[in-house]
């Protein structure tokens, strides 16, 4: 099976702060890889390099068979229709309802009439279990519910790959379990390739086909969760 995403000897620093140092890993098509490590070791920076929000100082980033390292913003827009990201804070528009938030990428990027958009949004909200919250504002939702809505919005583009940045941080244990179950179900149901940044070992054990463990800017382990436990 071909890699969908490849990090090839990627390094990234912000001034004197080296965040990634010669990091290499790949994510196979249809696979879920969890990136583990304490805060500040480059987990989220890795996702931002994959999305093209940041560019590596050295090394190459391959996404969907394309070397995106030197891509322009226009070229990256095409990649971002294939790969979407669920941000840690949800990144929902405060002034838009849940339904309008999920509809936003549909109105921006696809030639659909309002009835089609309504039906797609309804299906996405039902898929993530928040269809009854369609007319609420983000301020009316718990942190966990905001994450579910953010996942629905990420799926609106019908991506091939979804990147999740700390999906269970700042939620209670029950919601963390529900979000983990949702991510796992969506991977199977939609045949998604996924990367999950987390410090939640239980989530990683549930989701990961393989894990990358970052420590002091380096990938010190890349393999299955079982192999990591034994190492």
Q: Is 79 helix (H, G, I), strand (E, B) or coil?
A: helix
Q: Is 96 helix (H, G, I), strand (E, B) or coil?
A: coil
Q: Considering the entire predicted model, what is its pTM? A: 0.94
Residue with tokens 């309504």: 118
| 137-161 pLDDT per residue, tens | 999 999 999 999 999 999 998 999 9
Residue with tokens 């560019």: 55
| 82-109 pLDDT per residue, tens | 999 999 887 899 999 999 999 999 987 6
| Confidence (pLDDT) at 71 | 97
Residue 64: name the closest of 193, 179, 225 by CA.
Answer: 193
Inter-CA distances, 66 with 71, 78, 174, Å: 10, 11, 39
Does residue 1 carry a pLDDT above 80?
no
Q: How many helices (H) and strands (E) does the chain have?
A: 8, 10
| 28-81 pLDDT per residue, tens | 999 999 999 988 788 999 999 999 999 999 999 999 999 999 999 999 999 999
| 165-211 pLDDT per residue, tens | 999 998 999 999 999 999 999 999 999 999 999 999 999 999 999 99
Residue 98: name the closest of 124, 62, 69, 75 by CA.
Answer: 124
Residue with tokens 């071909």: 2
List the CATH code of the domain at 1-82+162-231.
3.40.50.300
Q: Where are the domains of the chain?
A: 1-82+162-231, 92-158
DSSP string, 1-43: --EEEEEEEEEEEETTEEEEEEEEEEEETT-EEEEE-STTSSH
């Amino acid at each position: 099976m071909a890699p969908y995403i490849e990090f090839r000897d990627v390094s990234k620093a912000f001034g004197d702060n080296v965040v990634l140092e010669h990091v290499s890993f790949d994510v196979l098509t249809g696979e879920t890889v969890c990136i583990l490590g304490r805060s500040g070791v480059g987990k989220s920076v890795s996702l931002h390099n994959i999305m093209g929000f940041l560019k590596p100082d050295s090394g190459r980033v391959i996404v969907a068979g394309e070397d995106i390292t030197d891509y322009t913003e226009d070229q990256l827009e095409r990649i971002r229709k294939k790969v979407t990201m669920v941000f840690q804070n949800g990144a929902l528009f405060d002034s838009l309802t849940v339904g309008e938030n999920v509809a936003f990428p549909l109105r921006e990027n696809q030639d659909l009439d309002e009835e089609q958009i309504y039906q797609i949004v309804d299906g996405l909200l039902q898929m993530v279990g928040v269809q009854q919250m369609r007319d609420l504002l983000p301020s009316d939702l718990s942190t966990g519910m905001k994450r579910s809505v953010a996942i629905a919005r990420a799926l609106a583009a019908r991506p091939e790959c979804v990147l999740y940045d700390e999906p269970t941080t700042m939620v209670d244990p029950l919601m963390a379990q529900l979000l983990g179950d949702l991510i796992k179900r969506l991977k199977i149901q939609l045949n998604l390739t996924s990367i999950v940044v987390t410090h939640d070992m239980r989530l990683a054990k549930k989701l990961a086909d393989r894990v990358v463990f970052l420590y002091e800017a380096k990938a010190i382990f890349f393999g299955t969760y079982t192999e990591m436990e034994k190492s």
